[in-house]
A = this chain, B = another copy of it.
Amino acid sequence: MTLPTLDELNLLHANICQALGDPKRLQILYALGAQPRHVTALAEALSTPQPTISRHLRVLRHSGLVGSERQGPAVVYALVDRNIIAVMDTMRVLLRKLLDQQSDVMAP
């Protein structure tokens, strides 16, 4: 495997961002950040049909953000690197600032 070019890195970077670009997937990541879970547990926790969760997990798996391990009949998913939670939290802080700035403009 050769080193990725800058363009390839850019593409991979965009893929990860795209994987983060869905509210349900953000919820899934935060849920997995709290503790690894199997698919049905996630489906119940997020009140979402199991096939939907499964599809979102596939996206997250392909982006490399989560990994899976079979435990008996169940498949347990977990974050590959917990730092993704820190990144997401940082974005949320930034988001709050952006919202504040926008309402400042609105306010007077």
**Contact surface of A with B, Cβ cutoff 8 Å:** 1, 4, 7, 9-23, 25-27, 64-65, 80-81, 83-84, 86-88, 90-92, 94-95, 97-99, 101-103, 106
* A106–B84 alpha-carbon span in the complex (Å): 23
Q: Which residues of B contact A88 (CB under 8 A)?
A: 13
Of all chain B residues, which has the CB nearest A103? B1
Q: How many copies does the complex hold?
A: 2
A12 touching B91, Cβ below 8 Å: no
* CB-CB under 8 A for A106 and B1, given A17-B21, A90-B90, A94-B84: yes
Q: Which residues of B contact A98 (CB under 8 A)?
A: 64-65, 80-81
Of all chain B residues, which has the CB nearest A80? B98
Q: Would you list 12 pairs from A and B whose C-beta atoms are within 8 A, ordered by A residue?
A: A1-B106, A11-B23, A12-B95, A13-B26, A13-B92, A13-B95, A17-B91, A64-B98, A80-B101, A83-B94, A84-B94, A86-B90
